[in-house]
Structure 1
Amino acid sequence: MSIVFAVVAVVAVFLIAGLVQGLTGFGSALVAMPLLCLLMDVKTAVPLCVLNSVVITTYLLYRLNGQLRIAIILPLCLASIPGIYVGTTFLRELDSKIISICLGLFLISYSTYSLVAKPRPRAIHKGWGYVAGFLSGAIGAAFSAGGPPTIIYTTLNDWSKDKMKATLTGFFAFTSCLTVVVHALTGLTTVTVLQNFFYSAPAVLVGTAIGSALYGRLPREAFIRLIFLFLILMGIAMLFTN
C-alpha cells in the first residue's frame, strides 16, 4: 500500500465518520474502526479514533453550547468513572463474546421495537442518568462500545433534539478526553498516531460541519428514527465482529 493511498484512505474514512457524528451525535467510531483496521494496526486505530473524537465533540460543543445542561451531563460523567473501573476489572474476566452478542441482540430488538411501536418520550428520573453513565463506562471499557446506554437514556426523555445531541456530545467529550489522557500516559499515543491525526483532523472537522448542517434540517421525529437505525447497525456490528 502506497503512502499516498494510505493518507487519502484515512482522510476519506474520517470525513465520513465526522459526517455521521455531526448528523447523529454519535457513531464516528462505528464507521471508522472497521475501515481503519483494514489500513493499520488496531493499536494505532483506537487512539487515532479517540483523538478525532475530541475534535468532533469540541466542534459540536461549540455549536450546541446553548443546549448544554451540566446538571444532566454531570451524573453521566461521574458514574462512568467507576463504570470504567468495573468494566476493566471484572467484565474482561467473563466471556466477552457472549456478552457482546447479548448486547447486540438487545440493541437490535429495542431499536426495532422503538421504530415500530414509537413509544412516547417522558420525563425520566435523573437517577437513571447515573445508571446510564455507569453502564456506558463499564461496557465501553470492556468492549469499546459504551455509547448505547447513554444514547437510549437520551431518547427516553422528552427532550428537544438539540438537548439530546448536546447531552450525548458533552458525555462523549468527557470520556474522549479522559481516554486521550490514559492513552498518552500508557504510551498508546505514538508518533505514527500523531502523524495520522495531523492528516485526518481537518477531514473529520469538515465532515462534522457538513453533518451538523444536515442535522439542522432534520425534524425531531426523523432524528430519533435515525438514532435507532444507527443503534441497529451497532447491534449488528457487535454480533459479527467477535
Structure 2
Amino acid sequence: MLYAIFLLAGFTQGVSGFGSALIAMPLLTTFLTVRTAVPLCVLNSIVITICLSLQLRRHIDWRRIFPLLAGCLPGIVFGLLVLKHVPNIILRISLGLLVIFYAAYNLFGSARRKIKTEKTELSRRWAYAAGFCTGGISASLGAGGPPTIIYVTMTRWTDDEIKAALSIFFLITSIFTALGQAAGGLTTPLIMHDFIRSAPFTLLGVWAGVQLYNRINRQIYIKIMFWLLLIMGGVMLV
C-alpha cells in the first residue's frame, strides 16, 4: 500500500508539476496518524522535487522565488508547532477540508478563471503571503502546495516557468521542513525506514510521469485527480 501511494504520488507530480502530497496525505492517513504521515510525505517530496528541479533548472528565476521563500520560513516554524501540539483528529479534519477546498476550487472555479484571460504581475506581498501559508500547511499537514499553486497560476509566467518555480520552491521548503521535523523529534527511525523503502517507488513514479508528460491528456488526468481528491477529502471528515 505504501509503495503504491508514493508511486502514484510521484507519477502525478511528474505529469503535472504538483499534487504529490495532495495525493499521498489523504491515502497515508487511512492507516497512519497525520503526525507520522507528514514527515514521511515531506521526505519523499524532497526526492520528487530534486528530480523535477534538475530537469527544469533552465527555467528557474530566483528573483520570483525569493519572496515565496521569505514568507515560507516563518510559516514552517508555525506549522511545526501546530503539528507537534495539535491533536491528530483536528489535523485530519483540517487536511480533509484543505483537500476538499482545493479540489472544488479547481473543478468548479475553472469556468470563472477562463473568463479572466488577462494575467497580471501580482504584488510581492501576495508572494510572501502564499509562501507563509505554504510553509505553515506543509509543516503541519504535509500538503502545502495550494496557496503557492493558486498564486503562480495568476501570474504571467509560462507553463515551464511555473513548473520550475514550484519544483525548486517545494524542494527548498521540504528540506527546511524536514530539518525542523528532525530537530523536533518528529522524524523517527521507523519513518526513515519507511522512507528508504518507498523512495525507489517514488522515483519510478516521477520517471513514468515525466516520460508521459507530452503523451497523455494532462487536462483529463488532472480533472480525474481532483474528483478523487474531493472524494478522499470527504472520507477524511467521516
Gaps of 5+ in 1: 1-8
> What SS is found at the alignment partner of 1:13?
helix
Does 2:50 match 1:58?
yes
Gaps of 5+ in 2: none
> 1:80·1:137 contact (CA, 8 Å) conserved in 2?
yes
Does 2:15 match 1:20?
no
**Structure 2 counterpart of 1:120, one-letter code:** T
Q: 1:32 aligns with which of 16, 24, 37?
A: 24
Does 2:112 match 1:120?
no
Higher mean Cα deviation, 102-111 or 206-215?
102-111
Q: What is the TM-score when the length of structure 2 is the normalising length?
A: 0.79
Task: State the shift of 1:225 in Å.
Answer: 7.4
**Structure 2 counterpart of 1:77, one-letter code:** L
Distance 1:189 1:25 in 2: 26
Mark the CA change 1:207 to 1:199 in structure 2 (over 3 Å): closer, same or farther: same
Distance 2:191 2:145 in 1: 23
Deviations 1:202-221 (A, max 9, x none): 11111101111222346xxx
Task: State the shift of 1:108 in Å.
Answer: 4.7
Higher mean Cα deviation, 154-163 or 40-49?
40-49
Deviations 1:35-93 (A, max 9, x none): 33345454433222111111000001110111111111111111112233455668969
**Identical counterparts, % of pairs:** 40
Deviations 1:147-200 (A, max 9, x none): 111001111122221111111111111111011101221222222222222221
Distance 1:75 1:126 in 2: 10
Q: How does 1:140-155 map to 2 (within 5 A)?
A: 140-155=138-153
Mark the CA change 1:205 to 1:241 in structure 2 (over 3 Å): closer, same or farther: same
Task: State the shift of 1:234 in Å.
Answer: 4.6
Distance 1:210 1:151 in 2: 23
Higher mean Cα deviation, 144-153 or 225-234?
225-234
Aligned length: 230
For residue 181 of structure 2, what is the aligned residue in structure 1? 183
For residue 36 of structure 2, what is the aligned residue in structure 1? 44
Over the residues paired in the alignment, what is the CA RMSD in angstroms? Answer: 3.2
Distance 2:91 2:47 in 1: 30
Higher mean Cα deviation, 132-141 or 169-178?
132-141
For residue 77 of structure 1, what is the aligned residue in structure 2? 69
